[in-house]
Amino acid sequence: MYEYDDYYEDYGPSDELSQQIHQMIENEARAKITSTFTELEQVRKTNEELRKQIHEMRNQIRTFDDRVKKERKQAEEAIKRGFFDGYICGDKVFVAYSKYRREACATCSGAAKVTALIGNAEMQIKCPECDGTGGKHKYDYEPLEDHIETVTVELNDRGGKFVNAYLKKKESKVEYERIFPTLEECQAYCDEKNSESKER
Ligand SMILES: [Zn+2]
């Protein structure tokens, strides 16, 4: 029994110490884990922030690239328009389209002859109004929507420059003076042309 008691007396304080050590280790470990966790959380936040920044920068680069492309295209277009005197292929335009029409003479109704009383006799004479042609050649102008398909530039050694356009709906080339960017401008030109031909 003596040995037994002795053993317990020895065991008491050493058990307490062991518990204290255990507690210290545990506290230390907890502190370490908490600190590591906090660090990890911080790294995660930084990472997320950087990811956002990268995303934002990529967007900025893309926007910048798009702007450069757009501005380059505009600059190229401006140079082309300058060289081709305003129009480039693919432009929607309005062309003053002229349609030939033969208008019968109002005096002879297209017969080319009129009845005249010469002395007491009725005679058929050449219509003085149309000079025996029976009518007049007329061109009626009207706007036609079209697209520029080809633009050609001819340069000569005397510094001359001739620009012509070929449109989708017309086979032959069209002079620039008959091409307009808007319907209103084309209509005004047609009206002017049509009133000129009425006066003649
Ligand atoms: Zn006539």
Q: Which of 32, 47, 80 is the last residue of a domain?
A: 80
pLDDT of residue 6: 53
Regarding whether 91 and 25 lie in a shared domain, the answer is: no
200 Cα: distance to centroid of ligand 1 (angstroms) = 15
pLDDT of residue 61: 97
Regarding whether 177 and 132 lie in a shared domain, the answer is: yes
Regarding whether 177 and 149 lie in a shared domain, the answer is: yes
197 Cα: distance to centroid of ligand 1 (angstroms) = 17
| pLDDT 10s digits, 15-28 | 888 999 999 999 99
136 Cα: distance to centroid of ligand 1 (angstroms) = 9
Give how many domains the chain has, as a whole number. Answer: 2
116 Cα: distance to centroid of ligand 1 (angstroms) = 13
Identify the CA nearest to 95 among candidates 152, 162, 166.
166
Regarding whether 111 and 69 lie in a shared domain, the answer is: no
Phi, psi of 177 (to 5 degrees): -70, -15
Q: Which of 44, 65, 80 is the last residue of a domain?
A: 80
What residues sit around ligand 1, an ion, with C-beta below 5 angstroms? Answer: 105, 107-108, 127, 129-130
With b for 16 or more beta-carbon neighbours within 10 A and e for fewer, the 139-163 pattern comes to eebbbbebebeebeeeeeeeeeeeb
104 Cα: distance to centroid of ligand 1 (angstroms) = 8
pLDDT of residue 162: 86
Regarding whether 89 and 179 lie in a shared domain, the answer is: yes
Q: Which of 80, 115, 149 is the last residue of a domain?
A: 80
187 Cα: distance to centroid of ligand 1 (angstroms) = 31
pLDDT of residue 171: 77
Regarding whether 60 and 112 lie in a shared domain, the answer is: no
Regarding whether 93 and 12 lie in a shared domain, the answer is: no
Identify the CA nearest to 99 among candidates 3, 5, 190, 199.
190
137 Cα: distance to centroid of ligand 1 (angstroms) = 13
pLDDT of residue 7: 53
Regarding whether 122 and 49 lie in a shared domain, the answer is: no
pLDDT of residue 33: 94
174 Cα: distance to centroid of ligand 1 (angstroms) = 33
Regarding whether 22 and 89 lie in a shared domain, the answer is: no
pTM of the predicted structure, to 2 decimals = 0.58
Regarding whether 138 and 187 lie in a shared domain, the answer is: yes
Regarding whether 61 and 91 lie in a shared domain, the answer is: no
Regarding whether 97 and 54 lie in a shared domain, the answer is: no
pLDDT of residue 197: 67
Q: In 3-state terms, what secondary structure has residue 152?
A: strand
Q: For the chain, which ranges sit under pLDDT 70?
A: 1-13, 197-200
User: Which domain does 163 fall in, by range?
Assistant: 84-199
Q: Which residue in the block uniquely carries the two structure tokens 């990890």?
A: 40
